[in-house]
């Protein structure tokens, strides 16, 4: 949908008279989810997206159980494939395929999936405006008429007003910089969309490949989507050349080097530090903008959908708050809800990553050779259990995490408002 469809003129004319209850910045899964949640609560919601939709997003498009469970009612997943088998390899060696009778997870193309989510938010009553890049938000000063209002300033200078703002503008978030999001893990993901002939596509149908990579904490994947394979790798930031080489070697090893990628791109992912804020005044952050992402697998769609919904629900309460005390109370409630759920999952994920970084070989051996570990992997992807639940209920797993995990890494900060937006390179 384009800016014209959302009738930008009407939106502006309306704004002269009224203040939006909730303005959501960014129309990825987090933003669409937040807009949906606030709109079904009957509030006036504006969803701002800098791109025109559908837009490309560097992502494997793996939809695990928790993502499926967090979709709005009536949402039909535009699945490109259903995964029933996983081939694991350890840097190209010790390859082993494990199969599951039941579907483990699904694969989607992000442009289509994200657009469908936005359409659901629109059906619930949210208004969409595309081609609208937010430059900054202001909670004090001349642009803000009163203490209950936030000014959302677009590139070009136009100002919109809202009672509450949800920042869902991805990993290079401007709103995250405003809130002061702190991160302690930054990774670089590189991906190629590779169109393949029918015979090759047939060989991959229903099966993904996961390769534990040569750099600590890195891994690669092949996710089949019909006539195209999404092939990617992810590793800690700071090793760009080695990460690029890993992707090239990985593609060559799989015999896919002869096929020209239709898109090659890279994107940074950021995980929040435990003490990172999730709000500032009337502004909440969710999804990648808040650094909410599973640290080991870097799975982020379910984190975006779940935190987006919570942010939308709490933004409604903040919009209704009459003073700073009530605003603060609602913002703390939002933070509590995030920390009690996704926060717990993230802290287990960080410990898993620490073990995986040290012992990828052991990880591979356990997953491919120890039936309960494979069953656990299957059940996590299916959404029948979570990593946190599993660790809590299995003393042996708990002991292994403690025995092999090192101290947590030092903290880094999220990008400044100037650095934001400069993360995605598409060639």
Ligand X SMILES: Cc1cc2nc3c(=O)[nH]c(=O)nc-3n(C[C@H](O)[C@H](O)[C@H](O)COP(=O)(O)OP(=O)(O)OC[C@H]3O[C@@H](n4cnc5c(N)ncnc54)[C@H](O)[C@@H]3O)c2cc1C
Say whether residue 120 binds ligand X (CB under 6 A). Answer: no
Which of 14-22, 27-35, 117-125, 402-410 is the region at the interface with ligand X (rule: CB under 6 A)?
27-35
* Interface pick for ligand X out of 27, 208, 229, 380 (rule CB under 6 A): 27
Question: Could you say whether residue 345 binds ligand X (CB under 6 A)?
Answer: no
**Of 76-84, 158-166, 178-186, 284-292: span binding ligand X (CB under 6 A):** 284-292
Tokens of 126: 């949210």
Q: Which of these ranges, 196-204, 243-251, 281-289, 391-399, lies near ligand X under the rule CB under 6 A? A: 281-289
The only residue of 300, 349, 360, 415 in contact with ligand X, by rule CB under 6 A: 300
With beta carbons less than 8 A apart as the criterion, state whether 21 and 103 touch.
no
Interface with ligand X, residue 133, by CB under 6 A: yes
d(CA 257, CA 272): 36
Nearer to ligand X, 67 or 218 (CB): 67
Tell me if 282 sits within 8 A of 217, measured CB to CB. no
Which of 40, 47, 58, 270 is the binder for ligand X (CB under 6 A)? 58
**Binding characters for ligand X, 223-252, by CB under 6 A (x = yes):** ---------x-x------------------
**Cα–Cα distance for residue pair 160/167, rounded to 1 Å:** 14
- Which tokens hold the place of 32? 């669409």
Q: Which stretch binds ligand X (CB under 6 A): 5-13, 247-255, 300-308, 401-409?
A: 300-308
Place of tokens 């498009």: 61
- Interface residue with ligand X, options 6, 24, 60, 212 (CB under 6 A): 60
174 binds ligand X (CB under 6 A): yes
CA-to-CA dists, residue 266 to 229, 259, 260, 285, 361, angstroms? 16, 19, 17, 23, 27
Q: Could you say which of 6, 21, 28, 423 contacts ligand X (CB under 6 A)? A: 28
Kindly state the smallest distance separating residue 208's Cβ from ligand X, in Å. 10
Phi first, then psi: give them for residue 288, nearest 5 degrees: -60, -30
Closest of 171, 127, 146, 94 to residue 419, by C-alpha: 171
CA 146, chain centre distance (Å): 34
Residue (of 41, 118, 74) closest to 313 by Cα position: 41
- Could you say whether residue 304 binds ligand X (CB under 6 A)? yes
Nearer to ligand X, 174 or 364 (CB): 174
Region near ligand X per CB under 6 A, out of 176-184, 297-305, 346-354, 380-388? 297-305
290 token code pair: 């808040």
Interface pick for ligand X out of 65, 287, 388, 415 (rule CB under 6 A): 287
Q: Which is nearer to ligand X, 196 or 305 (CB)?
A: 305
Rule CB under 6 A: is residue 51 a binding residue for ligand X? Answer: yes
CA–CA gap between residue 278 and residue 291 (Å, rounded): 9
Of the listed pieces 21-29, 116-124, 201-209, 405-413, which binds ligand X according to CB under 6 A?
21-29
For residues 99 to 118, the per-residue mask of contacts with ligand X, x marking binding by CB under 6 A and - elsewhere, is: --------------------
In terms of Cα–Cα distance, which of 156, 158, 176 is closest to 166? 176
What DSSP string runs through 319-385? HH--SHHHHHHHHHHHHHHHIIIIIHHHHHHHHHHHHHHH-HHHHHHHHHH-HHHHHHHHHHHHTSS
- Tell the smallest beta-carbon distance from residue 422 to ligand X (Å): 11
Which residue number, 194 or 321, has a Cβ lying nearer to ligand X? 194
Q: Within a 13 Å sphere around the CA of 394, how many CA atoms are in the beta-carbon half?
A: 15
Contact criterion met (CB below 8 Å) for 44 and 21: yes
Binding-site ranges for ligand X (CB under 6 A): 25-31, 48-51, 55, 57-62, 67, 133-134, 168-170, 174, 189, 191, 232, 234, 267, 269, 287-289, 293, 298-302, 304, 421
């Amino acid at each position: 949908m384009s800016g014209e469809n959302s009738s930008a003129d009407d939106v502006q004319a309306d704004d002269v008279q009224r203040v939006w209850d909730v303005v959501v910045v960014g129309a990825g899964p987090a933003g669409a989810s937040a807009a949906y949640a606030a709109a079904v609560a009957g509030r006036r919601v504006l969803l701002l997206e800098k791109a025109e939709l559908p837009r490309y997003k560097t992502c494997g498009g793996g939809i695990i159980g928790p993502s499926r469970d967090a979709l709005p009612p009536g949402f039909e997943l535009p699945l490109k494939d259903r995964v029933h088998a996983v081939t694991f390899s350890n840097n190209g060696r010790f390859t082993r395929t494990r199969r599951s009778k039941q579907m483990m997870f699904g694969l989607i193309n992000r442009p289509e999936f994200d657009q469908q989510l936005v359409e659901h938010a629109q059906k619930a009553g949210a208004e969409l405006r595309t081609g609208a890049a937010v430059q900054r938000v202001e909670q004090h000063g001349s642009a803000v008429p009163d203490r209950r209002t936030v000014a959302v300033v677009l590139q070009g200078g136009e100002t919109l007003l809202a009672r509450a703002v949800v920042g869902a503008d991805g990993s290079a978030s401007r709103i995250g910089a405003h809130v002061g999001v702190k991160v302690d893990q930054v990774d670089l993901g590189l991906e190629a969309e590779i169109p393949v002939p029918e015979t090759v596509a047939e060989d991959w149908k229903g099966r993904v490949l996961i390769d534990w990579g040569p750099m600590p904490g890195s891994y690669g994947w092949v996710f089949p989507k019909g006539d195209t394979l999404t092939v990617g790798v992810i590793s800690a930031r700071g090793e760009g050349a080695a990460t690029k080489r890993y992707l090239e070697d990985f593609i060559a090893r799989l015999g896919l080097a002869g096929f020209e990628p239709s898109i090659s791109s890279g994107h940074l992912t950021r995980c929040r530090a435990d003490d990172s804020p999730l709000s500032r005044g009337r502004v909440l952050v969710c999804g990648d903008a808040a650094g909410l992402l599973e640290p080991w697998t870097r799975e982020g769609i379910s984190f975006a959908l779940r935190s987006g919904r919570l942010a939308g629900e709490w933004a409604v309460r903040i919009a209704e708050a009459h003073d700073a005390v009530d605003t603060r109370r609602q913002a703390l409630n939002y933070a509590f809800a995030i920390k009690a759920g996704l926060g717990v999952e993230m802290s287990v994920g960080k410990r898993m990553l620490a073990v995986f970084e040290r012992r990828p070989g052991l990880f591979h051996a356990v997953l491919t050779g120890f039936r309960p570990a494979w069953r656990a992997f299957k059940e996590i992807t299916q959404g029948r259990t979570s990593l946190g639940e599993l660790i809590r209920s299995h003393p042996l797993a708990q002991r292994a995490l403690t025995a092999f995990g090192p101290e947590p890494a030092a903290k880094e900060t999220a990008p400044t408002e100037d650095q934001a937006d400069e993360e995605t390179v598409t060639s």
